[in-house]
Amino acid sequence: MTPIDFLSSRFHYTYGAHAPTLQVQPGDAIRVTCPDCDNVMADGSVLTEEQRHVDTPDAVQGNPLAGPIYIEDAKPGDTLAVTINAVELDRELGMTLLAPSHGVLPDHRVTPLIGDEKNAGSPTTPRHMYHWQIDTTAGTATMSNPVGGQALSVQLDPFVGCIGVCPAKGCEVSSLNCGEFGGNLDLPMVRPGTTVFLPVNREGALLMMGDLHAAQGHGEVIGGGIETSGKIVCTVGIIKGAGIESCRMRDSQMLWAIGTHDDLQQAIQLAYAGLLDWLAQPGVVDRYDMYNLLSQTATVTVGNLNEAPYPAAAGVRLDRLPDAVIEAIKPWTL
C-alpha cells in the first residue's frame, strides 16, 4: 500500500483534544514529516509562527508534534495499534546538546578527573552543541566537532521519540512529558518493526508523533539523542473493545508494557504489573506462576530520565512464553 504523505499544517506542543489535521481509515499507511526537536526541517528552515500551534501560553516549544491524526472508528475502549514501518532520515546533520545540569549525571560526575590536562579544572560541564555527520549509506553517525580530537562514530538506529494519543478526560500534556497515553517516551524500541499499542481515550484517538532520533542509548543520559528530522512511515489499526490502561509494544521477538511515574521505582512497578496483567490470562496460566516466570525471564529498560514522569518498559521474549499464552493474547502478537 502506498503511504499517504502527510505534512501537518500545524504542529502542537501538547497532546490533547486538538482539531485533527488528517483523517484516515484503519489499515491506512501514512508517511509523516517531522521537524527535529528544535523545530528545524530537513532543508534548514524553521517552523513559522503560523505553523506552531501554541496550545497553552507557557508551553515549551520543543518536540513539535505532527497531527493530530483522526482514525475512523477508533472509540474509547478500543486500542490503537501503530506499526512503525520505517524511519526515513532526511538530512545529514544531527545534533546533541552538552550543557551544565542537562543530562542524568550531575556536573561533578561529568567534570573530568584530576590529571586530564586538557579539560581539568572546569567547575561545571561545558556547553557544547555536538554536530553529527549522518551517513545513511554507511549506517553511521560521526561527531564532526568533538570536544577532543577524536571523531567518534555510532551505528544508526533511528526511532520515534514521541508518539501518543489524546490523554484521558481531554487533558493537555506537554510534548516533553509522557503518561498512560504515550508521549515523550524516548524508548529506542519504537523503531521500524515495532507496533505501539495506545489506549483510545477520545473518538478518533487523535494520534500525534515527532522527535526523531538517529540513535540513542537507554535513558537519554546526556539529555538528548542524535536529534534530527525525517519521516515516519506507519500503519494504523484498531483492536476493537480491547481497552488498555497504558501503552504496550511488540516486535518480532519481544512484548513490552510501559509504566510512567514521577518515581522511577513506581514506573518500573507499573510496567511489570502491566506485563503481568497482559500475560496472565485467566484459565490459561496461573497468575502467580506467570509472575514467577517473568521474574526469571523478563527485562526492564528506561526511556527519558531527564524529566519526570519517567517511562519504564518491562519486556519478555515471545519464545520464553508458553504456546497457550501466545495463542490467548492474539491479536496482540499477529
**pLDDT of res. 141:** 97
pLDDT of residue 162: 97
pLDDT at 118 (0 to 100): 55
**CA 134 – CA 136 distance, rounded (Å):** 6
**Would 4-91+157-239 and 252-328 be classified into the same CATH topology?**
no
**Was domain 252-328 assigned CATH 3.10.28.20?**
yes
Alpha carbon distance 37, 190 (integer Å) = 17
More confident residue, 109 or 299: 299
Does the pLDDT of residue 117 top 60, yes or no? Answer: no
Full-model pTM: 0.93
Report the pLDDT value the prediction gives residue 77, as an integer from 0 to 100.
94
User: Is the predicted pLDDT of residue 11 greater than 60, yes or no?
Assistant: yes
Return the domain boundaries, the chain: 4-91+157-239, 252-328
- Among residues 94, 23, 14, the alpha carbon closest in space to that of 61 is found at 14
| Superfamily name and number for 4-91+157-239 | Acetamidase/Formamidase-like domains (2.60.120.580)
Specify the pLDDT at position 113.
Answer: 60
Average pLDDT, the chain: 92
Whether the per-residue pLDDT at 161 is higher than 80: the answer is: yes
How far is residue 241's CA from residue 288's CA, in Å, rounded to a whole number? 26
Cell readout for 235 is 500503519
